Amino acid sequence: DAGITQSPRHKVTETGTPVTLRCHQTENHRYMYWYRQDPGHGLRLIHYSYGVKDTDKGEVSDGYSVSRSKTEDFLLTLESATSSQTSVYFCAISESSHRGLRNEQFFGPGTRLTVL
């Protein structure tokens, strides 16, 4: 398995509180991604990063922000959590985005977040 850890693995919080999820990799991969997984929706991309301090929005970025100050860490922040953000959050990494090179994504173990 790729060296990806997520913390915390489980979190319960209240509406309106800030929450930060951390993804840490030991593979030195350039690309990192945050997805949320919800029943009936599969996985949807929230934000991704293509390098240190380089990030971009995904399909469902509203209410989320990210930061990447080091290659190995990608943080996802919910500035003011809402019940609609109750979900399982997965981090993924990828070695390259260049076509023709190995570019599958490897996933972390996930964080189950409940917003009451």
Partner 1 sequence: AQSVSQHNHHVILSEAASLELGCNYSYGGTVNLFWYVQYPGQHLQLLLKYFSGDPLVKGIKGFEAEFIKSKFSFNLRKPSVQWSDTAEYFCAVDTGGGNKLTFGTGTQLKVEL
- Given the rule CB under 8 A, which residues bind partner 1? 31, 33, 35, 40-45, 48, 50, 58-59, 90, 92, 94, 96-100, 103-110
Tell whether the torsion through CA atoms of 104, 55, 45 and 66 is positive or negative.
positive
* β-pair partners for 23: 6, 74
- Return the number of the residue (33 or 74) whose C-beta is nearest partner 1: 33
Minimum CB–partner distance for residue 98 and partner 1 (Å): 6
Query: Distance between CA atoms of 109 and 104, rounded to whole angstroms?
Result: 16
| 53 or 100: CB nearest partner 1 | 100
From the DSSP assignment, how many helices (H) and strands (E) are in the chain?
0, 11
Report the residue number, 50 or 75, with the smaller CB distance to partner 1. 50
Closest approach of partner 1 to the CB of residue 104, in Å: 5
Sign of the C-alpha dihedral computed for residues 67, 47, 96 and 9 taken in this order: positive
Q: Nearest approach, Cβ of 99 to partner 1 (angstroms)?
A: 4
